[in-house]
Amino acid sequence: MFYIEVPDEDKKFDILESMRLHEIFEAELSHTDSWHFSGGMGRHTRSKTIPTMDKMAKASNQHKSLKIQLLNPSDNKLCSDYANYRASLRSANNKNSAWNEKFVRREILSTILVAAIFKANNSNFEISVKLKAAFSTLRIDLGSKTAIITKEDKNEPALVCRDGSFLFRSYKEELAQTYKIYNDLDIHVQGGYSLGTITSKDVANLLLILKLDDGLTDDDCKAIAKTLKENKNPYA
């Protein structure tokens, strides 16, 4: 038997109960200048991360940056595969919305629009979006000092890795490499849009500008507008 001694600096991680996740996100978002997310639809990112970083950028008059990696909403098979995966989870039993391709696509587009609107309305907040060709069962949120690894089931615990540890460096490198290979999405739009007053017509216009309107119906735009107005955190 071989015994491997792990250096103290590589033990900087915690397993956090799901009910305490909001605490770690609050703490880390309050003092970081940069954030990187990689996941599926980005619902927590649009409802919590983006508004919080926007608020901090305005309060401090300092530049903040956010990198987002989401599933490609134009890839029907990818959205369908992801919907099937989410429907198979225990957490799907408590969802009012059916997990299907249409729902997944609407949610991703909603996150993209939130990113585009906040970017347009705050010159101190730089947001970039990459579209992925595959999904993972893990979500990675990485600030300047902490990496938070969660699963799609909100009742599952999270892995929290600290700066200086092997795990933190590994997740940071993972995000850096995937960010290089995935497609970049141009989310530049004119400012002036507000989530509280956005209409289905606004949604249709913005998605046309972003070239993400292919195959969308009026019902899709209405549903997305409703999601944007509410901007609820599904994991709260």
CB contact set of 123 (below 8 Å; sequence gap of 6+): none
Q: What gap in Å lies between CA 194 and CA 178, rounded to an integer? A: 31
Phi-psi category of residue 23: left, alpha or beta, with phi > 0 → left and psi -120 to 50 → alpha = alpha
DSSP, collapsed to helix, strand or coil, labels residue 98 as coil
Q: What gap in Å lies between CA 51 and CA 79, rounded to an integer? A: 26
**Which sequence spans correspond to the domains of the chain?**
11-186
- As given in the structure block, the two tokens for residue 164 are 């200086």
Instruction: Give me the amino acid identity at 168.
Output: F
Contact 104, 75 (CB under 8 A): no
- pLDDT for 52 equals 96
Q: What gap in Å lies between CA 103 and CA 220, rounded to an integer? A: 9
Q: Nearest CA to 205 among 101, 117, 143? A: 117
DSSP, collapsed to helix, strand or coil, labels residue 147 as strand
Q: What gap in Å lies between CA 193 and CA 177, rounded to an integer? A: 33
**Ranges of H-type helices in the chain:** 21-29, 43-44, 50-60, 76-87, 101-121, 166-181, 200-209, 218-230
Class of domain 11-186: alpha beta
The vertex-213 CA angle with 44 and 216, nearest 5°, equals 85
- pLDDT for 88 equals 86
- pLDDT for 8 equals 52
φ, ψ of residue 139 in degrees (nearest 5): -115, 140
For residue 69, the cross-strand partners are: 38, 130
- pLDDT for 1 equals 40
Q: Nearest CA to 25 among 154, 195, 179, 120? A: 154
Successive 10-residue mean pLDDT values, the chain, 236 residues: 47 78 90 96 96 95 96 96 89 69 97 98 96 94 95 85 93 95 93 94 97 95 96 78
φ, ψ of residue 189 in degrees (nearest 5): -135, 170
- pLDDT for 32 equals 94
